[in-house]
């Protein structure tokens, strides 16, 4: 790689090394003009460009130029300052996205688990403010059913007959219902329901064990427990509320270039779903 292809910038005391082509993604920007020696405000000192601007915010500018996507940390709050920096560098497509702050801010997501412990079985009902999270969780949870003889709630022995997967109850897009444990069938026969939550391969019949595994799954997925309460003591219904900050969908600039032209023909916004 020639020295002309590598550009070194010191922005507010922070040093960046990148390709010239990265800075030329938007040919009408000041960074592209800097590479072409067409902007006198950017001083070349000892082979490095010196820019008297915010170096921490420039790291997000560089990430945008490298990926053409705006994806900010969940704790980011300096939208207006970053917009001003984008305008200073002449990156107006980025400044336009940042002006629509509501699209970029992370959103608080609430999940509620209701746990009803009965004599021989447990009923779970999960409500979520985000339907896509409920859909993803429904794909992880599988209920298996089978018959067993003379065994009750706490039996450590699996059914002799093959277990059959059951669909989860979905009253709406925002909740699901499932059961585990046993219920009396006929004679000495019991219908047993086991619950499995991916990626764990165990099939659990005890409701308390299923609740513990569900908690572990939610905590690993970024949720945190914020409250517990008893809904009805007579029916033994407990409610557990979780929350997490869900990263906003990534916003991508699509750059279309016409053949034989170094300029940007068009820039448009697309939303790209990232993560859960």
- Give me the residue label for tokens 């390709």: 19
CA distance 95 to 79: 10
Averaged pLDDT, 199-204? 92
Level-2 CATH architecture, domain 6-104:
2-Layer Sandwich (3.30)
Which pLDDT score, from 0 to 100, does residue 74 have?
Answer: 78
Domains of the chain, by residue range, sit at: 6-104, 109-151+158-245
The answer to whether the CB of 143 falls within 8 A of the CB of 199 is no
C-alpha to C-alpha distance for 128 and 135, rounded to whole angstroms: 10
Find, among 227, 134, 143, 225, the residue nearest to 178 by Cα. 143
183 backbone dihedrals φ, ψ, rounded to 5°: -140, 150
* pLDDT higher than threshold 50 for residue 132: yes
| pLDDT at residue 263 tops 70 | no
Q: What is the pLDDT of residue 253?
A: 64
Tell me the pTM.
0.61
DSSP classification of residue 248: P
Q: Which residues share a beta bridge with 177?
A: 125, 169
């Amino acid at each position: 790689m020639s020295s002309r292809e590598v550009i070194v910038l010191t922005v507010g005391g922070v040093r960046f090394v990148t390709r010239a082509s990265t800075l030329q993604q938007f040919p009408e920007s000041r960074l592209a003009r800097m590479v072409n020696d067409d902007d006198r405000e950017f001083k070349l000192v000892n082979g490095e460009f010196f820019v008297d601007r915010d170096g921490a915010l420039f790291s997000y500018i560089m990430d945008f130029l490298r990926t053409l996507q705006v994806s900010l940390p969940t704790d980011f709050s300096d939208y207006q300052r970053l917009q001003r920096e984008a305008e200073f560098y002449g990156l107006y497509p980025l400044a336009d996205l940042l002006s629509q702050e509501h699209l970029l801010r992370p959103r608080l997501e609430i999940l509620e688990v209701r746990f009803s412990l009965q004599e021989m079985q447990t009923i779970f009902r999960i409500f979520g403010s985000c339907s896509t999270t409920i859909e993803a969780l429904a794909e992880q949870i599988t209920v298996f059913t089978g018959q067993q003889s003379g065994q009750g709630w706490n039996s450590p022995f699996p059914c002799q007959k093959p277990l059959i997967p059951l669909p989860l109850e979905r009253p709406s897009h925002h909740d699901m219902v499932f059961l585990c444990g046993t219920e009396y069938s006929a004679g000495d026969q019991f219908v047993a329901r086991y619950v499995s939550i991916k990626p764990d391969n165990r099939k659990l019949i005890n409701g308390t064990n299923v609740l513990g595994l569900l908690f572990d799954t939610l905590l690993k997925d970024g949720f945190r427990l914020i409250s517990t309460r008893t809904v009805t003591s007579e029916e033994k219904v407990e409610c557990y509320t979780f929350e997490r900050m869900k990263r906003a969908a990534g916003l991508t600039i699509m750059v279309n270039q016409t053949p034989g032209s170094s300029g940007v023909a068009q820039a448009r916004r697309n939303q790209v779903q990232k993560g859960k």
